Structure 1
Amino acid sequence: MSFFAAPRASLRLGTALAPHVRHSHIGSALLSVPAGISISELPFPPLSNPLRAPPAALRHARSLLVAGPKGKVVVPLQAYVQMRWLAAEGAEATKETAAAAAAAAADAGQTLQLSVVDSRVKTQRATWGLTRALLANALTGVSAGHAVQLKLVGVGYRATLEEDPFPRASALSLALASSRASFASPQQRLTYQAFAAEEEAARTTHKPMRLNIKLGYSHPVIMPVPHGIDVNVPQPTVIELRGVDRENLGLFASQIRAWRRPEPYKGKGIFVNGETIKLRTAKKK
């Protein structure tokens, strides 16, 4: 009697011959589009800075413009990522009803599903899940908004919100006024000109604000509040940020945190969203 089991050749052979299809657990999850939110496709890649050409990975990409009661968010959409509007009870909408379903999404809740051309390609699977996550963040942002809380821990650390006496033009407006702006098409320029006009209109109704933070330096830290972000200081040591774009919100929070990162010896610094740090004992000579 042998003490070693024979290899299960039949199972291995069956696995090798069977078609191998891999899925993204995040990307294949359905997206529920709430009522009052519209998703439109733009035939050009998104630009975070029009003065710079888009990265190589986004040169052939498209964009999704997600609009809702809180604002608008642009999400990149690669050429190999496909969108399917699902009819009632998860049935796939036909080509004739897909456009109608996209238009009806603003009136009644719809279900959206993403897929890729070839799920066996690792890059497509990774982008599949990434696009679904970005789109889910955009839907949450334009419907309910995102929030980030920063806590200042340290002797004399204080923050105040005040009107900006020297408001600066937005980066988008400066880029549009420059001759070095790079746009893929005239339609893209017109779209971003409309975005800039909305920013200027918001400036007339909401005065530009800035954060005045004391963090133990010989000078206060002055940080203008970017467009699309609302700041509230309920306590001198607490800063609350709200906005529709989770990426811009996290970027501004990281810029504030960079002035005083949490340090492990005294536990001082700027903590984001309940962040904690394990204290260390200083070495004694």
Structure 2
Amino acid sequence: MSRIGKQLIRIPSGVNIKLTEKNILVKGPKGEIERSIPSCLSVVEKEDNSLQVLRKNEDISSREMHGLFRSLVSNMVIGTSKGFTKILELKGVGYKANIDKKALNLALGFSHPVRIEAPPGIELSVENNTIIKINGIEKEKVGLIAQQIRSIKPPEPYKGKGILYKAEVIQLKVGKSSK
């Protein structure tokens, strides 16, 4: 049995769960998320304010989905109660960011500014012109937007300039040496 799949999902106060045969709806103070339940799994609500994901059979596809779906449901509960945050840092001379009507404007040394629209459910904020905070209730979307912003100007290995995740360490390469 999956070590992750068999763990119980604790439901914090303020989070409501509505289970049907095919869907799970999680409502919390930050918002609500709905996801369909795979046909090979079932979700059971326990009396001690927790959820358990169970397999209906023991074939390979249900064993593959067991731990994954338990993690997805756990992320739904955490997202609707606390939310998820990713922090990016701009490193480089003249690299700046600002917010303009829910859109992120980046000056990264290109001949033009880069504009990124925030998708629904995602909040973008900027601190000190160099720190970008991405907040949302869906972990997948928050990580995807952070990766898309980072891919515009990934850190280069010689000077370490670019867009980095907070506390990311870039191994700098030694440049060319003259004879």
The TM-score, its normalising length taken from structure 1, stands at 0.59
Contact 1:36 1:69 in 2 (8 A): yes
Q: Please state whether the residue corresponding to 1:85 is helix, strand or coil.
A: strand
Alignment of 1:129-278 (within 5 A): 129-163=67-101, 209-278=102-171
1:33 equivalent to 2:11? Answer yes
Q: Which of 56, 60, 65 matches 1:127?
A: 65
Which residue of the partner structure matches residue 71 of structure 1?
31
Corresponding position of 1:91:
none
Structure 1: which 5+ residue stretches go unaligned? Answer: 1-22, 44-61, 89-109, 164-208
Question: C-alpha distance in 2, partners of 1:83/1:42?
Answer: 9
- In structure 1, the partner of 2:57 is 118
Check 1:267–1:74 CA distance in 2 against 1; reply closer, same or farther (3 A cut).
same
Report the alpha carbon displacement of residue 39 of structure 1 after superposing the two structures with TM: 2.1
Shift of 1:284: 4.7
Q: Tell me which of 46, 50, 63 is aligned to 1:86.
A: 46
- What code does the residue aligned with 2:74 have? A
> 2: CA distance between counterparts of 1:32 and 1:223?
36
**Letter of the aligned partner of 2:82 in structure 1?**
A
Q: Deviations over 1:134-159 (max 9, x none)?
A: 11111111001111101001111100
> 1:76, 1:131 within 8 Å by CA — same for their partners in 2?
no
- Separation of aligned partners in 2, 1:229 and 1:240: 10
Relative distance call for 1:249 and 1:155 in structure 2 (3 A) is: same
Superposition deviation, residue 212 in structure 1: 0.8
Give the deviation of 1:35 after TM superposition. 2.1
In 1, the alpha carbon distance for the partners of 2:156 and 2:20 equals 45
Distance in 2, Cα, partners of 1:82 & 1:76: 11
Kindly provide the CA deviation profile for residues 59-91 of structure 1, in whole angstroms up to 9, marking residues without a partner as x: xxx432211110112234211111122224xxx
Hey, what's the Cα distance between the residues in 2 that align with 1:111 and 1:41? 13
- Structure (1 or 2) with the greater strand fraction: 2
TM-score calculated relative to the size of structure 2 = 0.92
Distance in 2 (alpha carbons) for counterparts of 1:249 and 1:42: 27
In percent, how many aligned pairs have the same letter? 37
4+ residue runs over 6 A deviation: none
* 1:86/1:112 contact within 8 Å kept: yes
CA RMSD after TM alignment? 1.7
Superposed displacement of residue 238, structure 1: 0.2
Distance 2:72 2:166 in 1: 20
> How far off its partner does 1:266 sit?
1.2
Q: How many residues align?
A: 178
CA 1:244–1:218 in 2, change beyond 3 Å: closer, same or farther?
same
Runs of at least 5 residues in structure 2 that lack an aligned partner in the other structure: none
1:233: how far off? 1.0
Counterpart of 2:15, as a letter, is I
Secondary structure, counterpart of 1:258 in structure 2: helix
One-letter identity of the residue aligned with 2:116: M
